[in-house]
Structure 1
Amino acid sequence: MHKFIKTFYLWLGLFTFCNAVSLFALQAKGLWPEGGAFQVPLAWALQLPLVALLALVHQGMNHLFSFLPDRWKQPVRFMLCALATFYVMGMYTASQLMYLQLESFISWDAYWTALSNTPQILPEIISGMGGELLGAAALSVIISLFYTRRYHHHAFSHSPRMFALLCLLFITSGAGGFVAVYTMDDARAERIRQGLLPTTYLTFSILDNLMPSASPSVDFLSGLVLEEQVSMADYFQSLEKPPEEKPHVFFIMLESVSWDHYGFTGYSRQDITPNLDRLAADSLVFNRAYAAACHSNYSQTSTHASQYPLRRKKLDQFEEVNYPKTLLMDILSYAGYRTAFFSAQNEDWQGMKTFIQAHTHLQHFYHSKDELGENIGIEAKVKDETVRRRATEFLDAADHTQPLFMYLNFQATHFPYDIPEGAARPYTPWKTDDFEFTFFHYDRDHTDTVINRFDNALHYVDAQVGAFVEYLKEQGLYENSLIVVASDHGEAFYERGYPTHGTALFEDQMRTAVLFKLPGAGKNGVREDPVSLIDINPTVLETLGMPNHPNFQGRPVLERERGAPIYLLSHGVIKAHGIVDYPWKYIYSARDGEWLLNLEKDPTEGTDFSAGHADIFSRLKEQLQLYQMRQLYYYTVLPQEERDRLYPPQH
């Protein structure tokens, strides 16, 4: 028993030290939690379950090595202790740094992303917090040396009664704290949790994934209709008239470009996207297009499948695709199209390739690993011009009499906005060497420099789009092809307090633009009505004279407005859910709380209209909850045999 108590005190002492450093850092940065001193003992008490769990696991691991010769036991236990304490301190430090940058600790979803994608993320972790990790490693060695010597010192003095009283105090206060937080109203509870310590916030985020979702006041199963699955042959038999012509379809996906950064949408830099501007003049432009999520792993996969990405409460990395999924490529392949996929990014990131290729046969697939090899980091992308060249080489060898679907993904506009050395950089200054420049933080005084860097990257991407379109024209493929251009989500530059993306559902991260260059002398112009990126597939089918597929949750918008709310999601660094019923938008964020926004009266989204429009606030909140419950019911409650028979719900 005395050895377990030593181990318990080790972890209690380690957490005490980390907590003190954390509170000191918050005080120094002026980020003292909103709840003030009340939250410090609460957070302290809420750590007991984690302290006890780590002590039990640590003690159990110590006993595993009891079979070793005596001369090996102490070194092995030292190494075990050093690794465990370094791991916990590293996680704690990373979460604290995240809070100093974004005022939000690392949630379980974000932590699991880092853990499951370590080979890709490790270089960025080392470069971003190498000094802090060295300090944690040195401290881990000192702690482990002291602990190992005391572990084998049988004269360790302790009071079992005091230990029991301490455990009782912690258990009582911890249980009371959890009950108190979970019985508060959502907004207040979230404010308190955001101000807790890294480890307590992590614990709450794990519990959130396990606890049931908030239910709407109405029966979420009432009126729910799940359509029977149909084979591809049955879907094609439903066509009133098979399409006489099969134009080529080219879908170009850009990375992280907000709707307001293009010349054709009125950006102040009218020379930034000359090629896209010319394409837009030939196209039907939707300049109020919303991504389904603010991070690529959800947004891109949801666009490919025309399905909302909410399938579970925790982050979905597509470990198991055990539900019906139909890609546009599946339908067109059955219709006689040859399909090809070209991407500048690593499609293995968070399981995107697994999702895309599950139950789908791609005739040609290319991404950055095919060019750079397996051992590449998160930002190890191939140059967009390389992707364009690979695509045109494929087209050179293709039989143009067979209709073709081709997907191209350009990535230069993803942070850190790197472009080839010889590429044009019309906007200066753009170098970021003389200030901190990370994905989640940079000095706001240098925002103009960062925007210049981004705009140079967008100008480079525009050149690749222009070169590809020019190739299509030279080959006689442009006029009668359907060309779609979209960005997977937007990019923030601290307009609403955030940089980059993956953190919030405000317009800067969620709103982008979509171009449909229709075959022949198709319609062009600008549409102001809101659409979702999951509407792209249904609209492509509509253009080809085909009905919407019953497995698509998106809607065709070529001939009519969408006529339904649009749902938004963030399962990235900060969890958030939202709904757009234009001009109204309701969002609930783990960091920012609840907002009712009016996009016409306040396009900058700085005003919360909930107090003056309680009826709209309640209606949108309940509608969002209804959607969430139906999605989670289908994907997590409905038996597998039912999911094998039925499509996801329509909303």
Structure 2
Amino acid sequence: MKTIFLSIYEYLASRYREWSPALSLYLLISIIMQVLYRVRILTMIRESYADFRSLGFMDYMSLFGRTDAVTTLLILAILLLIFMAAGPFRKTGLVLASAFTLVQCVALVLGMDFFRVYETTYQKSFWTDENNSALGEMFISILSETSLRFWVFLFILTVLLIMFYRLFVRTYDERGMAHIMNTTPSTVPARTAMMFPGAAALVLAALALFTGGDKGLKSMADRFPGMDAKKSTVALREFAMSPLYNLALERQAPETGPAADKTAGSTGPFTYRFNTDSLENSDRYDEIDLIPRGRRYNIILFFFESTAARYIDLDINGRAVTPVWRRLRENSLSAKNHYANFPLSANAMLSIMTSAYDHPSKDLIIQKHSNIGLTSLSQVLKDRGYRTCVIHPGDLRYAGQKRFLKYRKFDRIIDYNDLKDIPPYNYKVGWGLDERSMIEPSVAFMKEKREAPFFMVYIPVNPHHPYAIPGKEFNITGDIPVNADYKTKNWLNYVNSLHYADAALGALVDRLEKEGLMENTLLFLFADHGEAFYEHAKNYNHPFFLYEDNVHVPFLVYNRKLIKKAHQYRGISRHIDIMPSILDILDIRGPAEQEGISFFGPHRGQMALLHTYWKDDYMAIRDGKWKYIRRMKEGFEELYDIEKDPGEKINLAAGNADLVSTYRSHVLKAREHKLAYYNIMLKKESSPALKKRSAAKNALNKNRKAAERKEL
């Protein structure tokens, strides 16, 4: 037995001696790349965060030391395993080690670009099941954000690794690396190569044991008094993360309900429609009688994409960015304070089509539970003789939208695959075809059976990221300077894409007016969510936070025959109110489970209950002049006076403890309500056909098992 172990030891030792030069070099490349990554990240931290400009490299190292040490130890172990397993197959070992090192380097360089864009380290929570349903579109968006630095780094790294690979292959093939190194007058190179991995492992183990930790984070956070201690601790923790560690070792914490709040009390027996009457005021709103009730109006829902309310009145170079929105507003009832309950297209569809809140977890109801027993607006209208159609120039499989819509009694569901062969607008613009590709097929549907009213849903693509336009005629900003920073370029590209989307909306409305299809039609026009451009740290795109740029969106109801001049609803309205308001105008009783109210009817002033859970879990309330935001896991709270501080720059939470406590209690009650709501709704199946298929499947399984028993 001793002889066997000795033989194994001698074999492994000889392999280690032979491979130690290559092992040392590849390990050294990994360490150098991680150091370069940290230097670059520290530079970006100082550029993006005024509160952390005094952060030194040694202080930063004390934060990331443990994470990077563990990551590098794992890299060393994998490289050692590759070389030892390769044995005499030298080329195989070098190819695998080179590929593994290249993957690390690409991940780190991509991590630099990710931090540049999102001002934090990549974490697994940034990637969701929704992303998996649109990999092609995600790739387009990722490519649009990669910098020249990324491609230069990638080229240099690839060339270097190819050179090292060829050098080692030639050296091993000719005489053997160990022999080459031992022919020199000194054996120092060979000894150094053999000792370096072991010495590095000892240093890394010490760093892993004695650096980092929450205690160090909290003491470091106290050194930056310009930021709330909890918020500072969260930021420093994310700065200390490594994209390599997060990809390989990060474990996402299981979702749990919020901690019990002693001030919340019992919610009592469950009832639909969570009470959102204003806590800030007792305002009452009278019935709005602009539109006669009880007629069989045609209904159009237009989900305008990624637009915060403030952009509607934006001018660039003396020109309106959204002239069509402004024109339609002159014959509309518009809402000054309309809110997306969740800043994400999939959840906007849920709230608007069913008057339901999102699920309090990260699960998208329309993706995970497409057949949920919620009654949608399309189902209600279809049962009353309406013709129903939804049209989208992109792929409706994204986030399970197509599956969800198939259970909602739509006569026709039209998306990219149906439109891509219909000229002249069948070319890609961003994530889908030109918006104008929707016009002709939708007009044809509306004209098919004029004796029956129609319910038409438009879901355009732009100005969604990557902020595309089909031609220079939609460039309202002028040429973008070559030396403009990426934030400025992205914003200018967005403004141009917004201008294009507005023009496409105008082309549609003009065509409908020309065909006489707007005479008895109510157009409900709204943005599904907003779009942010660093108005707050890390707030880019839309789903990550609940600031005004993410959730405060434009909304109007248009019909120039019925509404002769501009009217404005000054209360707070929400996406969940759209379905009840439409049914109220049509004089149709809504389903019991709807959570919204009709803003056309008499009502108390409302609060907007807001939620997002893409990377982090936030809940918020907009009530009167107040905006309350809570980061659920850490309990960090913000309170803003929107009337005096529309940019949400001055956090008043510390000086308004009673008000914060009241809103906190309401937020926690709301989460309990959502959980109870979906405990009920998820038990329902929306489709008799689904029940029939389920019964058939159960019968088939039963027969199969019976046949198996008979064979036995």
* 1:406 shift after superposition: 0.5
2:65 matched to 1:44? yes
- Which residue of 2 is the match for residue 234 of structure 1? none
Distance 2:498 2:272 in 1: 47
- Which residue of 2 is the match for residue 442 of structure 1? 488
Distance 1:132 1:316 in 2: 41
- Which residue of 2 is the match for residue 513 of structure 1? 554
**Selected match of 1:552 from 571, 594, 599:** 594
* 1:597 shift after superposition: 0.8
Q: Name which one, 1 or 2, has greater alpha-carbon Rg.
A: 2
Instruction: Structure 2 unaligned segments of length 5 or more: list them.
Output: 1-11, 179-189, 222-228, 274-292, 687-712
User: Any idea what the Cα deviations from partners look like across 1:55-112, whole Å, max 9, x if unmatched?
Assistant: 677778889x88xxx77x5444444444443333333322222222342222323245
**Selected match of 2:456 from 381, 406, 411:** 406
- Which residue of 1 is the match for residue 388 of structure 2? 339
* 1:340 shift after superposition: 0.6
2:357 matched to 1:304? no
Distance 1:548 1:8 in 2: 69
Asked whether the equivalents of residues 43 and 200 of structure 1 are also in contact (C-alpha less than 8 Å), the reply is no
- Which residue of 1 is the match for residue 311 of structure 2? 261
Distance 2:303 2:110 in 1: 32
- Which residue of 2 is the match for residue 237 of structure 1? none
Amino acid at match of 1:488: D
Distance 2:201 2:531 in 1: 53
Question: What are the within-5 Å matches in structure 2 for residues 341-360 of structure 1?
Answer: 341-357=390-406, 359-360=407-408
Question: What are the within-5 Å matches in structure 2 for residues 233-272 of structure 1?
Answer: 245-262=295-312
Distance 2:322 2:576 in 1: 25
2:641 matched to 1:598? yes
SS of alignment partner, residue 210 of structure 1: coil
* 1:455 shift after superposition: 5.6
2:409 matched to 1:393? no
- Which residue of 1 is the match for residue 522 of structure 2? 482
Distance 1:334 1:60 in 2: 65
SS of alignment partner, residue 530 of structure 1: strand
2:611 matched to 1:611? no
User: Any idea what the Cα deviations from partners look like across 1:587-606, whole Å, max 9, x if unmatched?
Assistant: 24699964211111222222
Residues 316 and 115 of structure 1: is their aligned pair in 2 closer, same or farther, counting only changes over 3 Å? Answer: same
- Which residue of 1 is the match for residue 578 of structure 2? 536
User: Any idea what the Cα deviations from partners look like across 1:407-426, whole Å, max 9, x if unmatched?
Assistant: 0123343345444438566x
User: Any idea what the Cα deviations from partners look like across 1:497-540, whole Å, max 9, x if unmatched?
Assistant: 65554443222232112112479847972111111122212222
How well do the aligned residues superpose, as a CA RMSD in angstroms?
4.7
2:152 matched to 1:103? no
Amino acid at match of 2:482: D
**Selected match of 1:491 from 517, 531, 534:** 531
**Which region of structure 1 is more displaced relative to structure 2, 20-29 or 160-169?**
160-169
SS of alignment partner, residue 365 of structure 1: strand
2:682 matched to 1:643? yes
Distance 1:159 1:23 in 2: 22
TM-score w.r.t. length of structure 2: 0.71
* 1:211 shift after superposition: 5.6
SS of alignment partner, residue 529 of structure 1: strand
Distance 1:104 1:315 in 2: 24
SS of alignment partner, residue 528 of structure 1: strand
Residues 157 and 217 of structure 1: is their aligned pair in 2 closer, same or farther, counting only changes over 3 Å? Answer: same
SS of alignment partner, residue 192 of structure 1: helix
- Which residue of 2 is the match for residue 177 of structure 1? 213
- Which residue of 2 is the match for residue 18 of structure 1? 33
Asked whether the equivalents of residues 105 and 157 of structure 2 are also in contact (C-alpha less than 8 Å), the reply is yes
2:266 matched to 1:222? yes
Distance 1:643 1:207 in 2: 28
Identity %: 18
Distance 2:342 2:90 in 1: 50
Asked whether the equivalents of residues 104 and 244 of structure 2 are also in contact (C-alpha less than 8 Å), the reply is no
SS of alignment partner, residue 340 of structure 1: strand
SS of alignment partner, residue 122 of structure 1: helix
SS of alignment partner, residue 555 of structure 1: coil
- Which residue of 1 is the match for residue 186 of structure 2? none
Residues 214 and 8 of structure 1: is their aligned pair in 2 closer, same or farther, counting only changes over 3 Å? Answer: farther
Amino acid at match of 2:384: A
SS of alignment partner, residue 18 of structure 1: helix
User: Any idea what the Cα deviations from partners look like across 1:332-360, whole Å, max 9, x if unmatched?
Assistant: 22333221111133333344434444x33
- Which residue of 2 is the match for residue 383 of structure 1? 434
Distance 1:46 1:540 in 2: 54
- Which residue of 2 is the match for residue 119 of structure 1? 136
Amino acid at match of 1:121: M
- Which residue of 1 is the match for residue 152 of structure 2? 131
Distance 1:436 1:198 in 2: 29
* 1:385 shift after superposition: 1.7
Amino acid at match of 2:555: V
Residues 413 and 111 of structure 1: is their aligned pair in 2 closer, same or farther, counting only changes over 3 Å? Answer: closer
Amino acid at match of 1:94: L
